[in-house]
Chain A
Amino acid sequence: MQQDYAGIGIFFLIAAVFPMIVLATAWLVRPKRPSPEKLSTYECGLETQGSTWVQFKISYFLYALIFVVFDVETVFLYPWAVRFSSLGLFAFVEMVIFIAILVIGLWYAWKEGALEWM
């Protein structure tokens, strides 16, 4: 079982090292002739005004909250999905009820306009 995770570990390692190698190679190979034009953040479009870090509206927080609820739902879906074939119809009905209860929440969020992008 734990040997299976070695693959994931190697994957993590490659995922961490690969971008570094790419960026280092680019840094070694590329010519370095910076100019103010090249160093500007945007090549085209409007110049940004003020700080990039601004306070966001509270309504965006609702997306995060709804995401967290459905993320926790995934925790319950995961073991069910693993044993789906052996658990049978009863478990399927249970999970339908489980998801139905959470869909009520989604419907409420929708009704309250929490999903509208403002």
Chain B
Amino acid sequence: MTSTIIFWLIAIIIMGSALMVVLLRNIVHSALFLVVTFVGVSGLYVMLQADFLAAVQLLVYAGAIAILLVFGVMLTVRGDIKYSNLFNRHKFTAGVVSLGLFLLIERIILSSDLLISNKPALESTVGPIADALLTDYVIPFEAAAILLLVAMVGAILLARGEGKPQ
């Protein structure tokens, strides 16, 4: 009962803030409401007892992706920021496409038989993930570090431009 109330509260927060992302005219305000949406989704993960996923959602989405978005806005903004997130004349087409996508996803969810495990939910998902990551999956773990390194070097190269000394 309580969890149902909390779920609907979180759902209202997510849907409301997601609507604000689309409807607000200032794109910086939209970015801030996107952060609220991410925090709400992390609340949903907590309700699904996926606490590690909730932490990742908070760290990566509400933290990093939001920072990248705000930086992206600061770097590209032109003209008056108060009117930076307006509707264009494709409003109707976008509505039809979104409705079609929604109906498609809804059909797929309703027609697929989702497997439900009989096992009780784990007390904490972080511990087993740590055990698996640092014992059985050492090589992918270190490969992730190299992937991050490559991403960082590539980003620096792209942002600075090759062969241009400061």
Query: What is the interface size of chain B, counting residues whose CB is below 8 A from a CB of the partner?
Result: 52
CB distance from A85 to the nearest CB of B (A): 11
Tell me the B122-166 residues at the A interface (CB within 8 Å): 123-124, 126-127, 129-131, 133-135, 138, 141-142, 144-146, 148-149, 151-153, 155-156, 159-160, 166
A contact residues, total (Cβ < 8 Å): 48
Q: Which residue of B lies closest to A83 (CB)?
A: B130
Complex: how many Å from CA A116 to CA B151? Answer: 20
The listed residue (B46, B67, B134) touching A2 by CB distance below 8 A is B46
Q: Is the CB of B134 within 8 A of A87?
A: yes
The answer to whether A101 and B145 touch across the interface, beta carbons within 8 angstroms, is yes
Contact A73 B126 (CB under 8 A): no
Chain B at the A interface: SS class: helix
Interface pick from B14-22, B57-65, B100-108: B57-65
Are A64 and B77 neighbours in the complex by a CB distance under 8 Å?
Answer: no
Q: Which residues of the partner chain A approach B130 to less than 8 Å between Cβ atoms?
A: 79-80, 82-83, 87
B:53-100 near A, CB below 8 Å: 55-56, 59-60, 63-65, 67-68, 71-72, 74-78, 80-81
- The interface of chain A, by Cβ under 8 A from chain B, is 1-2, 5, 9, 51, 53, 55-56, 58-62, 64-69, 71-76, 78-80, 82-83, 87, 90-91, 94-95, 97-99, 101-102, 104-105, 108-109, 112-114, 116
Q: Which B residues have a C-beta under 8 Å from some C-beta of A? A: 3, 6, 43, 46-47, 49, 51-52, 55-56, 59-60, 63-65, 67-68, 71-72, 74-78, 80-81, 123-124, 126-127, 129-131, 133-135, 138, 141-142, 144-146, 148-149, 151-153, 155-156, 159-160, 166
| 22 A-B pairs (CB sep. < 8 Å) | A55-B75, A56-B71, A56-B74, A59-B159, A62-B155, A64-B71, A67-B67, A71-B60, A75-B55, A75-B59, A79-B126, A80-B130, A82-B124, A83-B126, A83-B127, A87-B130, A101-B148, A102-B152, A105-B149, A108-B153, A108-B156, A109-B156
